[in-house]
Amino acid sequence: MVSTLLTPHTLDLSRIRPVIRALQPDLVQWRRQLHQQPELGFHEEATAAFIHQKLSEWKIEHQTEIAKTGVVAILPGNRPGKTLAIRADMDALPIQEENEVPYKSQHDGHMHACGHDGHTAIALGLAYYLSQHRDYAGTVKIIFQPAEEGPGGAKPMIEAGVLKQPDVDAIIGLHLWNYLPVGTVGVRSGALMAAVECFRCTILGKGGHGAIPQTTIDSVLVSSQIVTMLQSIVARNVDPLESAVVTVGELHAGTAENVIADTARMRGTVRYFNPQYRGYFHKRLEEVIRGICEAHGARYDLDYWQLYPPVVNDAAIADLVRSVAEAVVETPAGVVPKCQTMGGEDMSFFLQEVPGCYFFLGSANAQLNFTYPHHHPKFDFDETVLQIGVEMFARCVETFLRDKQ
Ligand code: NI
């Protein structure tokens, strides 16, 4: 638990707000510029160049080309202390934008449909603010991370040493969240987002005439039984007090109504919160597939991989973020603890290395029609969230990096 001395209520951070409010026109402009030039994972060259240009303009020490396109800004305070990292992802998605707005994507087939343009603008706003307000004990590292949407930029950035020199004591990140209204913050300790695992399986049967099944091994029948039986893993193997999902999202087999299909292909995803289940679903999935295939005399070819671990927040840092959120949104109702999702995020790799907290920043506004979900071709958000994001981070910095009492 964080001691009460660390809560922002004992600090006068109210001076932060007017300074950051004044940044809002810039935040909007940066976000819109980034929105017009969306780039996919590990191709964020123009984005990284934009960040580099701004950081250079503001005379902020930084490194570029970390894990290809990643950028890290280093902002020492005016006295020594701990190091806090702030993480922002900056990649876009292979989606054709359907919004008719002046800042519409200029890259055909690519779109900032998850709000990472906002994350980057918020992190830039924080960098600028901190460059002008160095009154904190310690160092802030701002990590601009590539490829969150895949294949994952957090891990290669950690391998490149972004959590070292100076060693990071804690990390905080946010995701704009259109499932919450603007002016709210979703934060909780423990698991916030799920582990993401994926599989691909081919069932190898024996094709033949649709009217002469006795000479065949029907891959449609085998795969159907596998899909059904896989649901029993969550229903009958997982502790009912835990949460997990097994989804078969693709199943392809057959070419004609009177032909028994030789092969069937399926792809799916597994999600869970409790890190103890790591490895478990792979094992059970293979047991189910093997057992059913053996019963039918079919063979199989299974690929299973773990993409991201669960996003698990440290209790003390989550408490710090929650108390900052209460000060920023000024109403306890605006801090939402029930905000878990089975979505995944590679922020989890950072949180495996150092204690930290990832939180959701409400960005929906029904009146302005900003209600489309993330990854939708009409996704957009209420830009007032940008100044709220900078204020959240700035107060987290000044709360975490305060002098020892
Ligand atoms: Ni995202």
Q: Tell how far the Cα of 257 is from the centroid of ligand 1, in angstroms.
A: 42
pLDDT at 15 over 90: no
Which position among 89, 91, 97, 326 bears the catalytic label? Answer: 91
From the CA of 142, how far away is ligand 1's center (Å)? 18
* Percent of the residues in the chain that have a pLDDT greater than 90, as a whole number: 93
Dist. CA 282–CA 304, nearest whole Å = 7
pLDDT tens digits, one per residue of 190-234: 999 999 999 999 999 999 999 999 999 999 999 999 999 999 999
pTM equals 0.92
The dihedral formed by the CA atoms of 393, 396, 397 and 400, expressed in degrees to the nearest 10 = -160
DSSP 107: S
Percentage of residues in the chain having pLDDT higher than 70: 97
* C-alpha 362 to ligand 1 mean position (Å): 13
Half-sphere exposure of 263 (CA within 13 A, CB side): 7
Asked if 346 is an active-site residue, the reply is: no
**Which pLDDT belongs to residue 81?**
96
**Which are the contacts of 215, defined by CB distance < 8 A and separation ≥ 6?**
206, 208, 209
Buried b (16+ CB within 10 A) or exposed e, 351-374: bbebbbbbbbbbbbbeeeebbbeb
With contact defined as beta carbons under 8 Å apart, do 350 and 156 qualify? Answer: no
Q: Which listed residue (148, 218, 326, 383) is catalytic?
A: 148
Confidence of residue 12 (pLDDT cuts 50, 70, 90): low
Q: Inform me whether the pLDDT recorded for 9 exceeds 70.
A: no
Torsional sign, CA 388, 86, 118, 16 = positive
Residue 393 and residue 387: Cα distance in Å, rounded?
10
Active site residue 91: yes
Q: Give 227 Cα–ligand 1 centroid separation in angstroms.
A: 29
Tokens 């901190």 belong to residue: 130
- The residues pairing with 361 across neighbouring beta strands, listed in sequence order, are 176, 185
The tens digit of pLDDT for each residue in 259-293 reads 999 999 999 999 999 999 999 999 999 999 999 99
For each of the domains in the chain, give its residue range(s) and CATH number, in order of start: 2-192+311-400 (3.40.630.10), 195-308 (3.30.70.360)
- Would you state the pLDDT for residue 134? 95
Q: Is the pLDDT of residue 405 over 60?
A: no
Q: How confident is the model at residue 2 (pLDDT cuts 50, 70, 90)?
A: very low
* Res 7 pLDDT > 60: no
Q: Do 248 and 200 contact (CB within 8 A), yes or no?
A: no
Neighbours of ion ligand 1 (CB under 5 A): 114
Least confident of 15-24, 34-43, 69-78, 369-378: 15-24
Confidence of residue 403 (pLDDT cuts 50, 70, 90): confident
Q: Could you tell me which residues are annotated as the binding site for Mn(2+)?
A: 114, 116, 149, 175, 375
Residues 6+ apart with CB under 8 A from 304: 197, 198, 199, 282, 285, 286
Give the span between the Cα atoms of 356 and 341, in whole angstroms.
18
